[in-house]
Chain A
Amino acid sequence: MKKIFLILILIFISTKLVAEVNTKDKILKNLRCLVCQGQTISDSNSDFAKIIRSVVDDKIQEGLTEKEIYKFLSEKYGDWILFNPPLKNNSYILWFLPYLLFVLGGAILYLMIKKTLIEKK
């Protein structure tokens, strides 16, 4: 039982500690090409993607952080350009529902097992 607790704690901590090496690549992979069918700015060969890559380059040189670059682009093009949906009013359900369901599933399972344990006794 203790082991399981330890593992669970480790999981939650580990989602926080993600050391990122190449910021530019990470940003480009998180941006959506507006004129392509589901490609990232990093992968697309369209003119739009080339321009955005250049602009992101410039912004990194100017010293903007990753978050600031996302803010800049999503202000101009909408949140749609970000593959990682920002946590806003319109995405709370998106981000929290999975965890809710996991806990719900666990609770249902627990209740099912508990019933049979009591019956046995």
Chain B
Amino acid sequence: MLSNLGIIFSSISLLASLFLIHLSFVELKVSGDKIPKKIYKFSLVQLIFSLLSFLILLTGYIFSDFSMINVYENSHTTKPLFYKISGTWGNHEGSLLLWINILVIFSFLFLILNKNKNKNFKIFTLIFQNLLISIFFIFLLTNSNPFSPVFPVPNEGLGLNPILQDPALAIHPPLLYVGFVGSSIYFSAALAALISKVEAKSLAITLKPWISISWFFQTIGILVGSIWAYYELGWGGYWFWDPVENSSLMPWFLMTALLHSVLVLERRMGLYSWVIILSILTFTMSVVGTFLVRSGILNSVHTFANDPSRGLFILTFLVLMVFSSIFIFFKYAPSEKKNYRIFSKEFFILINNWFMIFFLAVVLIGTLYPVFLDTLSGEKISVGPPYYNFILTPFLIPLLFLMTSGPKHKWVSSETKKFFDIILFLSVFLFLIIFFVIKENNLLINLILLFSIYLIIQTIFDFYENLKNRNINLSRITSHFGFGLLIFFISINHIFSVESNFNVRMGEKKDIKNYVIKFENLETSSGNNYKSVIGYFEILNKKKLIKENLRPEIRIYNQPKTITYEASINSNLFSDTYLTMSNISDSDIFNIKFQKKPFMNFIWFSVLLISLGGILNFFNRKKEI
């Protein structure tokens, strides 16, 4: 019964979407400023039934209703409730339904919250957004239906991958979807703005809150994904340049460029085309990312199960979307006079866009090259972290420099000169202290440390300057300060991370640098849906005479049969102690990986600061004209 309800509710929502498109076209011909109540009503119907259908699926998971094949394939009665719930979107069909709901929610919110006076603009936005919604609904109902019934109803489900049973991973998809699926609304709005000739400032004020919100959630979503990778995957790292990770990062580069551009557009006209193009590109890149992840053309730790038919549908949709956007842009783009003065605000934002698009291109090339090479020539190569680190890292130096000196250029007074020298002096001074303490001889890393310190000091000065002038706009300072900290702590973490791999038996101990690691005990245990072997270790820090106790696990899940290696992590303020263990078959020897990862919490905190800037921006909105 749930299955039928789910299909019915989704279909009603689809019908409402189609009606909305029709009504919108009709309304275009009507003169006047007000959007008729009918459209609001249909939008509400669309929203309610979309949410209801999601609720149906959720109910199916909570109560383990295996009459729906999706629940059967991805859930199990012994799964803890929290993970039953998050299992709803932990699979292709369910996450697609979540996609659609985000599209619908944003459509509705835009309709009722947006105060732009241009009626045609709002109508066209609605049309484009509902085209997206309708197509995705059709995709859902015909190809990836989470409500498909299965008969006879099985007694038990096939379970969910245990690696996905983690709190961070449970909220990671919803966060990211508000990010890059939310970018759909400014995609639609950008196309609408072209056709209905919305003026620059008005567009900026309209789009800015949506861009800020989606950027914020995208940043937090990426952060949570990295935290999950660090705590759950057990290798001690938090970013692998894996294709799925890259798919979430690429829209982020575009969103960042867009956010900066729209901030300038609020006050000046110069970047109108940029804002339009970037808005279109962001959602396009999101769909490309979705295509890469769900079509099966990529080989990754995170991919959903492969199905080329999905890939074909998404690709067709992508092609239609891209060529339509290009057509609309070339037909309706205003021929504006561009007057970029050198060293003006626009100039620096353009430089920023240049860098962001460059980073995007590098990640895109690295991700796609193996696929393209294989398809076109049959040769298979891998592109991993060494490639991205080699190409991207040096460009952080000019980026940091520009982030520091760029925003200062709006001031022309002579006082600025004094500040410039003090900050530079302080930065070099601080850097030299750090240099003599850590004695790192890699020139590249030292330069990065120097320039990130420069950015950090500059933003601190900016903060006090703002306080003095009672300027409450702290968003740029917060985000740039966070970014400086992020690069600084990632570098320090890279320099000081310790890793050691060794074999040991129970009762033995091992000396590694300043630490003594004792394998004290071994226990077996069982959890909700797994059995485990737990190792009890004592780590003694010889220098500081601190003892830590860590308990890595080897878990054997029964549904589906998997073995996972759970890291034991002690997250202290300044450093994390990280231990994983695996057994050597047919022996009592265990292979231990011991790691010390400094400043991990500072890295997470830096990203939080960066995203905080986005939220401050959101609350710092001008009155809409």
Contact = CB atoms under 8 A, between A and B. Distances in A.
The answer to whether A and B touch directly, with their CB atoms under 8 angstroms apart, is: yes
A90 B377 contact: yes
Interface of B: 234-235, 237, 240, 242, 299-301, 303, 338-342, 347, 350-351, 354, 357-358, 361-362, 365-366, 369, 373, 377, 379-387, 390-391, 394-395, 397-398, 401, 441-444, 447, 499, 501, 565, 582, 584-585, 591
B385 A98 contact: no
A19 B354 contact: no
Given A43-B235, A45-B565, A94-B369, A82 B382 contact: yes
Nearest to B554: A45
A116 B300 contact: no
Given A37-B300, A109-B351, A116-B341, A13 B381 contact: no
A14 B384 contact: no
Given A39-B301, A94-B365, A98-B365, A83 B358 contact: no
A105 B358 contact: yes
Given A38-B300, A83-B386, A14 B447 contact: yes
B242 A85 contact: no
11 contacts: A8-B398, A38-B242, A50-B591, A79-B382, A83-B384, A83-B385, A94-B365, A101-B361, A105-B354, A115-B338, A116-B338
A18 B444 contact: yes
Interface string A3-47: 010011011111101110000010001101000011110110101
A91 interface: yes
B394 A11 contact: yes
Contacts of A91: 369, 381
A84 B582 contact: no
B394 A15 contact: yes
Given A83-B383, A91-B381, A116 B369 contact: no
A81 B382 contact: yes
A116 B340 contact: yes
Contacts of B401: 7
Contacts of A82: 381-382
Contacts of A8: 398
A15 B447 CA distance: 11
A106 B354 contact: yes
Nearest to A10: B447
A113 interface: yes
Contacts of A32: 382, 384
Contact of A80 (B339, B350, B382, B443): B382
Interface of A: 4, 7-8, 10-15, 17-19, 25, 29-30, 32, 37-40, 42-43, 45, 47, 50, 53, 78-85, 90-91, 93-94, 97-99, 101-102, 105-106, 109, 112-113, 115-117, 119-120
Contacts of B584: 50
A37 B299 contact: yes
A38 to B, nearest CB: 5
A90 B373 contact: yes
Contacts of A94: 365-366, 369, 383, 387
B301 A80 contact: no
A23 B54 CA distance: 51
B324 to A, nearest CB: 25
Given A15-B444, A25-B499, A38-B301, A101 B358 contact: yes
Contacts of B350: 109, 112
Given A98-B361, A98-B362, A102-B358, A112 B443 contact: no
Contacts of A99: 391
Contacts of B242: 38
A39 B235 contact: yes
A10 B369 contact: no
A115 B394 CA distance: 30
A43 B242 CA distance: 14
Which 4 A/B pairs are nearest by Cβ-Cβ distance?
Answer: A83-B384, A84-B386, A14-B444, A43-B235
A113 B347 contact: yes
Nearest to A100: B361
Contacts of B383: 83, 85, 94
Contacts of B442: 14, 17-19
A39 B339 CA distance: 50
Contact of A13 (B366, B398, B443): B443
A117 B83 CA distance: 60
A26 B1 CA distance: 56
A96 to B, nearest CB: 10
A30 B386 contact: yes
Contacts of B390: 15, 84
Given A15-B390, A91-B369, A101-B361, 16 more contacts: A8-B398, A11-B395, A11-B444, A13-B443, A14-B442, A17-B443, A37-B300, A37-B301, A38-B300, A43-B237, A79-B379, A90-B373, A94-B387, A105-B354, A105-B357, A120-B341
Contacts of B447: 10-11, 14
Given A11-B394, A18-B444, A113 B362 contact: no
Contacts of B382: 32, 79-83, 85
Given A83-B385, A90-B379, A93-B369, A109 B338 contact: no
A106 B341 CA distance: 16
Contacts of A78: 380
Nearest to B374: A80
